Amino acid sequence: MAQSRVPLYLGLGLAGAGGYYLYQAGGSPKVAEKKFEHDLAKLGGSREQEVKTEGKLYAKEAGAKLDDLVAQAKETTSKVDAKLEAYRNTAEKNIDQYSKEAKKDFNQAVDKFDKTVEEKAAQAKSGLSSWFGGK
């Protein structure tokens, strides 16, 4: 039972530090790594190395933000496409419905016209027949 607990405490400390950097980076492991390198460069005191790691850090953060923006744009575009497709489907249904109604109305008007023409033709025929001695 005389085991040393130093490895356990070191492991917990490393896990905590890793969690801290991941949290600060918004869950991006690459950005967390760059933040860790930046902090190490600060501790080393080399201003040149610090500037380099800071530049890389900002580049990674900007890249992550750009990726998020692209993902949001794609999502918005797909939503717009879905809405347009729904509108197109609705318009097709309405066009079909109005086309059927117009066809029905046209056929009714033609039938009415034919009936009127037949009635007038029958009246004219009976009128002409009476002139020439027919019934």
**pTM of the full predicted structure?**
0.36
Task: Tell me the H-state helices in the chain.
Answer: 6-24, 29-44, 47-131
How far apart, in Å, are the Cα atoms of 17 and each of 12, 20, 30, 36, 37?
Answer: 9, 5, 15, 9, 13
Q: What would the mean pLDDT of 62-69 be, rounded to a whole number?
A: 86
pLDDT at 17: 82
pLDDT for 83-125, tens place per residue?
999 999 999 999 989 999 999 999 999 999 989 988 888 887 7
Q: What confidence tens digit (pLDDT) does each residue in 12-56 have?
A: 888 888 888 888 888 778 888 888 877 777 777 666 666 777 788
pLDDT of residue 129: 65
